[in-house]
Amino acid sequence: MAASTNQLENLVLRQSVLGSRRLSNYLVAGAVSIGGIGFFLAGLSSYLNMDLLPIGDATNLIFIPQGVAMGFYGVAALLLSLYLWLTIYWDIGGGYNEFNQETGMVRVVRSGFPGKNREVEFSCRTEDVQSIRVDIKEGLNPRRVLYVRTKDRREVPLTRVGQPISLSELENQGAELARFLGVPLEGL
């Protein structure tokens, strides 16, 4: 769950989920773009024998093999940066969790890649929700996730992927959601 939680007239709880539009993704995409442009221009400079870079002198590079390698790495980095920028633009993984007591429905919606399945949606009735489960794993690769557990044993993740949220925030969100749905909170 991320940035905001909206509760409308105590009947609808809507939580927005941060997708790929995070500061870290912007920084990585920017760094890969700048590096890719630099490598590509260095390779092109060695081929054309004219300096296209504002710093350094890439004309001293021998085109085969250094210029070819620099050009290849530059093109690869530019393709990777294109992928990263498109992922940010499409906000992959972003969406919302909506718990509606008025209609008796739970909806978990996430954005995917363009195509016929652009929007991924899970929905079930509120009476099919068995519990809210908290999954905490510490260590080198920590994991802190809230799940909606349904009566047919499906577990649907509610929190964002990436940087784990703080334990107190996870506990508060889990308790608020369990209280709103009237189901137990498991895993603490």
Structural domain contains residue 8: no
B/e letters for 19-55, b = 16+ CB within 10 Å, e = fewer, are: bbebeebeeebeebbebbebbbbbbbbbbeeebeeee
**Same structural domain for residues 161 and 96?**
yes
**Same structural domain for residues 141 and 84?**
no
Q: How many CB atoms lie within 10 A of CB 127?
A: 12
What is the phi/psi pair of residue 146, to 5°? -100, 135
Range of the domain at 158: 92-184
State how far the alpha carbon of 67 is from the alpha carbons of 10, 18, 79, 155, 163, in Å.
64, 41, 18, 51, 38
Structural domain contains residue 115: yes
Domain boundary among 88, 104, 132: 88
Cα-atom radius of gyration of the chain, to the nearest Å? 23
**Same structural domain for residues 28 and 107?**
no
**Same structural domain for residues 50 and 124?**
no
Structural domain contains residue 45: yes
- Tokens 């964002």: give the residue: 160
Domain boundary among 88, 118, 133: 88
Q: Supply the pLDDT for residue 7.
A: 56
Give the chain's length: 188
**Same structural domain for residues 75 and 98?**
no
**Same structural domain for residues 106 and 157?**
yes
Residue 1 reports pLDDT greater than 50: no
**Same structural domain for residues 73 and 106?**
no
Burial of 69 (0-12, 13-18, 19+ CB in 10 A): middle
**Same structural domain for residues 115 and 64?**
no
71-80, 122-131, 155-164, range with the lowest pLDDT: 155-164
Average pLDDT over residues 137-164: 87
**Same structural domain for residues 127 and 163?**
yes
Q: How many CB atoms lie within 10 A of CB 18?
A: 19
Overall number of domains in the chain: 2
Structural domain contains residue 59: yes
Q: Supply the pLDDT for residue 159.
A: 87
**Same structural domain for residues 107 and 146?**
yes
pTM equals 0.82
Q: Supply the pLDDT for residue 38.
A: 95
**Same structural domain for residues 54 and 100?**
no
**Same structural domain for residues 107 and 173?**
yes
Burial of 179 (0-12, 13-18, 19+ CB in 10 A): exposed
Domain boundary among 44, 73, 88: 88
Find, among 171, 162, 106, 107, the residue nearest to 135 by Cα: 171
Residue 162 reports pLDDT greater than 60: yes
Structural domain contains residue 62: yes
